[in-house]
Structure 1
Amino acid sequence: MEVQYRKQYSQALNRDMECKIYGHAGRPVLYIPCQDGRFFDFENFGMTEVWAPYIEAGQVMVFSIDTIDKETWSDSNSDPYWRIRRYEQWITYITDEMVPFMRDMVNERNGWTGYPGVMVFGCSLGATHAANLYFRRPDLFDRLLALSGIYTAEYGFGSYMDEVVYENSVIHYLGGMPLDHPYIPLYNRKKAVICAGQGPWELPDSTRQLQGILQDKGIQAWVDFWGYDCSHDWCWWFKQVEYFLPYLLNNE
């Protein structure tokens, strides 16, 4: 498996950001680590082994990036006004810097003049961020794999609410989306998988709430609840990736 390490300065964040890239060809996949996670977690926790058949076959190139959760969602003692604006800078880093970099690399590697869209994948708080990216920017992301996420910004920001929190709280902005919003048919041309277990340390109520909103808005997504033995842990996320990836990678 080809593996590359990159460190690049981010204008949006005013700091260097690190990433690892797994694979030599295929569609781009953006991996968001779990809460407070780092770019090397995809490899260190063994997720590369689950994705290896698809990476080595040239079906996907996985780009694993850093979170800045310690400055944003996790820093509960600091001012939420500034924390959510720092988070918005991280979103801009992804959409305006990381995605174009990914596009250029996969186009070069595959000999493409366009690209098939970016899949975004995460577990736990990484799933929260992944879903936010997918639903905010369906012009950039055409696949979502969100495992064991929480889809309201209340998890990181409590009762604090302003326009930037609202724009980053999936349950809030999808709940307020008009039925004739142009994003809805755009979502329905794509594929999204949102899964939660019901076992130890899982919090499936947020996923149930999101499922109801998606149904009310006519937004198609595969929302799946696994059993009471399914815990909030890597061993289950490995199984879920193996189960859902064939569906997401099928272009039909």
Structure 2
Amino acid sequence: MTENYYTWHSPHTDRPFEMLVFGDRGFPLIFFPTSMGRYYESKDRGLIDAVSWFVDNGLVKIYCVDSADAWSWYNKQAAPYERARNHAAYDQLILQEVLPRAVAETGFNRVAVSGCSFGGYHAANFAFRYPEHVSYLFSLSGVFDMRFRMDHYYDDNLYFHNPVDYLPGNQHPDLWRMGIILGTAEKDITRRHNEELSGILTAKNISHWLDVRPNAVHDWPVWKDMFPHYLSLMK
């Protein structure tokens, strides 16, 4: 499997940024790590090996990005407004630095986004904010409400990065053209979050699949089963 490492200084966050890219062709997929995870997490956990057939056969090219959680949503040393502001800067990094590279390198004009656990939040938030750029959303055990990270503080940056708040009023037509899968498990700590988001999508008549795996929990073995299954459904 082709593997390339990239690093640069991001003008949007004014911080170094790192990324691993797997594959040399195929539909571009941006993959977000779990809470405070790093760009190499999915490789180390065996998730990339689980989808190696899709990469080796040129069906997908996977961009494993670094996270910003340690200095955004999870940064208890920063004031709540700074946490949300730092996440907004990270969001622009993905939109204006990673996305253009992915589409330029692959020749596609849209991407897929995915992630496990807190990475599922990042994927969903990016997809729902920029549906004109996203064809597929695969959220694996995600959460979609950041208010629990904000110590009762609320502002516009939180609202516009909190899918359960802004999605009900989002009327972008490309939302109805996106392939959306919300993966969770019967005993998953995020199950209710996925059921809540599914309810919002259902109320808007947005087609999606709420995939609840029976007798399973919030863990990597489940995600390694989910991810190749979801990739197999791309058209």
TM-score by length of 2: 0.96
- SS, match of residue 188 in structure 1: helix
1:226 alignment partner AA: R
- 1:132-171 mapped onto 2 (5 Å cutoff): 132-171=125-164
More off after superposition, 32-41 vs 148-157: 148-157
Runs of 4+ with >3 A deviation: none
Q: Deviations over 1:3-36 (max 9, x none)?
A: 1111112110112211011001101010100000
CA contact (8 A) 2:74 2:83 kept: no
Q: Percent identity?
A: 26
The residue aligned with 2:208 is 221
The residue aligned with 1:189 is 177
Counterpart check, 1:239 vs 2:207: no
1:147 alignment partner AA: L
Q: Deviations over 1:24-75 (max 9, x none)?
A: 1101010100000111112111111111000000111101110010111112
Deviation, structure 1 residue 97 = 0.8
CA distance in 1, matches of 2:128, 2:151: 21
1:244 alignment partner AA: Y
Counterpart check, 1:207 vs 2:194: yes
- 1:67-82 mapped onto 2 (5 Å cutoff): 67-82=67-82
CA distance in 1, matches of 2:145, 2:77: 19
1:60 alignment partner AA: V
CA contact (8 A) 2:103 2:109 kept: no
CA distance in 2, matches of 1:63, 1:205: 29
1:233 alignment partner AA: D
- 1:104-143 mapped onto 2 (5 Å cutoff): 104-107=104-107, 115-143=108-136
Deviation, structure 1 residue 203 = 2.3
CA distance in 2, matches of 1:116, 1:220: 22
Gaps of 5+ in 2: none
1:97 alignment partner AA: E
CA distance in 2, matches of 1:26, 1:155: 37
CA distance in 2, matches of 1:42, 1:153: 23
The residue aligned with 1:61 is 61
Gaps of 5+ in 1: 108-114
